Structure formats: C-alpha cells, structure tokens
Amino acid sequence: MFTIADDGPIRTLTIENQARRNAIPHAGWLALAEHVEEFAASDQRVLVLTGAGGDFCSGADLGADVDAVTGTPAMRFRWMADVERAARALHTVPKPTVAAVDGVAVGAGMNLALSCDVVVATDRARFAELFVKRGLTVDFGGTWILPRLVGIARAKELVLTGRMVDAAEALDVGLVSRVVPADDLGDAVSGLAAELAAGAPLAQRFAKEAVNAAFEMSFGEALAFESRAQAICLSSEDAMEGIGAFLAKRDPEFTGR
C-alpha cells in the first residue's frame, strides 16, 4: 500500500494502489498512521506524501471495504477509529510535512493532502470533498481544516456540493501553496523539502504547534505560548548555531538540540 524512500533527512511516503487511483482500503489507514508515527520518532526531518502513477489519492477504497457499509455499527466505528488515528498522527506530527499532489485528491484523499503543512500541486491536479455524492459526511479532519484554509462560506459550498476544484482555483482560494507543471513536481518538492530540512527542528516544532492552534487561542494566549517557546529556543544549541552562523555569514547546521 505504501513505499518508503529516504534521501538524507527527507522521507518520501508514496501511496501505491494505482488500479484504484491510490484509494486507501481499511487496513491502509492503520498502516498510514503507523508510518507517520514511525517518521515522528525517527531522525528524518521532513515527510513528503505523494501518490504513484499520476494521482495523489481518491479517498477511501469503499469497493474493497464492503463491511464499512454493510457491517455492524461496532465494525464501522472500529473502521473510522483507524481513519481518525491516521488523521491525528499526520496533523500533530511535530516535523514539516509536504503533500506532492498530481491528478486527483478527492474525498479523504483531499483532506489527507490538506493535513500536510505545505501542498504543492501540478497544473492537472483536481480536488473535491465529494463525500456528499456518496451519501457520506466529511472525514479525515476536513470539517476542521477546510474552513481554516478557505473560510466558512467557501468551505460550506465545497462540502455541500462536492464539486471538483481545478489547480488554478485551488491556488486562488488557498487550498495549495503553489502550482507547478506536472514535469516539475519532483524538482519543486525536492527543493522545498531540502529547504525545510535545513531549518531548526525545535523552532519549526513550536511554530507549527502555535499556528495549528491559532484559531483556538486568544491573542494573550498566543503571546504567552510564544514567550515560553522562545525562552526554550533561546537556550538551545540551535539558537547559538543560528546566531553564530548569522554573524559569521555562513549557513547554519541545526541539530534539533
């Protein structure tokens, strides 16, 4: 279901189910959660999530999971518990994550992409919260993520219609960070991942945590979090390295300590 490739500090996790446009069956969600959790505990600095064969992910593979629809309520809750675990793992992983999106990213596949910190899409990428077209409601954190990216009004329109959004519109409304030609996706993501991997891990962790919680904190709470986090960073070896590198006019080499 997944292949892993490490290139220095960068780990690429590729969804491999090309016959189903990289749809993820039940067992795949648990595997995804475990892969992300393993990455969080590893020495790798950046996770790139992508799909094989010209598509990112077409969501849950309902054709392979008949029990999700026909099984008992207890079976359905267990099925969704694995989806929830994967979504929580990806959203809370304390390291930078990048979604490299080509082709379709729909249903849970769209929210899988949006759960990453940065989304780079090709000009032929397409996104849709198509749950309603299957008689289903939004999952994999979409009801939380989407309004924060595009606003409540546009989020409601997208989840209630399930319509397809092309790459140009996705960039315009803030679903993705950048759009590149399909042939340039690999180079664009590699360059971005290298830039992220060169950053200070402790500083990135605090910055990501604060931005993720921005809509739940008051201004005073945000200031308090920043003060505590900055005090920790100021006492770190990375801060000494960063300041020293700045004064010496050289590139810093951060270690996360």
Phi, psi of 29 (to 5 degrees): -65, -40
pLDDT value, residue 241: 92
* 35 and 117 assigned to the same domain: yes
φ/ψ (deg, to 5) at 52 = -90, 155
156 and 112 within one domain: yes
CA neighbor of 117 nearest in space, from 204, 30, 10:
204
- In a 13 Å sphere around the CA of 18, the CA atoms on its Cβ side amount to 6
Assess if residue 228 is contained within a domain.
yes
Q: Is residue 253 domain-resident?
A: no
Distance of CA 123 to the CA centre of its chain: 19
In a domain, 141, yes or no: yes
pLDDT of residue 62: 81
Report the distance separating Cα 234 and Cα 15, nearest Å.
39
Q: Name beta bridge partners: 104.
A: 126
What is the distance between the alpha carbons of residues 40 and 5, in angstroms, rounded to a whole number? 15
- Distance set, CA 204 to CA 13, 89, 230 (Å): 21, 17, 12
For CA atoms 40, 46, 51, 52, give the dihedral sign.
Answer: negative
Does the residue 160 lie in any domain?
Answer: yes
Which residues lie across from 93 on neighbouring strands?
none
Q: Which residue has the tokens 């700045």?
A: 246
Please indicate, yes or no, whether residues 39 and 162 belong to a single structural domain of this protein: yes
* Tokens coding 59: 């969501």
Q: 130 and 210 in one domain?
A: no
Same domain (yes/no): 226, 109 = no
Q: Do 243 and 126 share a structural domain? A: no
pLDDT in tens, the chain (257 residues): 899 999 999 999 999 999 999 999 989 999 999 999 999 999 999 999 999 999 999 999 987 766 666 667 777 888 899 999 999 999 999 999 999 999 999 999 999 999 999 999 999 999 999 999 999 999 999 999 999 999 999 999 999 999 999 999 999 999 999 999 999 999 999 999 999 999 999 999 999 999 999 999 999 999 999 999 999 999 999 999 999 999 999 999 999 99
Task: Specify the pLDDT at position 65.
Answer: 65
In a domain, 152, yes or no: yes
Alpha-carbon span 119 to 181, nearest angstrom: 14
* Same-domain check for residues 165 and 241: no
Strands of 118-122's sheet in order across: 2-7, 10-15, 46-51, 97-101, 118-122, 178-180
- The CATH number of the domain holding residue 181 is 3.90.226.10
pTM of the model as a whole: 0.94
257, part of any domain: no
Q: What total of structural domains would you count in the chain? A: 2
Q: Residue 231 maps to which CATH number?
A: 1.10.12
Q: Please provide the size of the chain in residues.
A: 257
Give the domain extent around 227.
201-248
Question: 185 with 206, same domain?
Answer: no
Distance between CA atoms of residues 129 and 154, nearest Å:
12
Same domain, 70 and 180: yes
**Same domain, residue pair 146 and 92:** yes
Q: Of the candidates 54, 36, 31, 204, which has an alpha carbon nearest to the alpha carbon of residue 124?
A: 54
In a domain, 76, yes or no: yes
Report if residue 177 sits inside a domain. Answer: yes
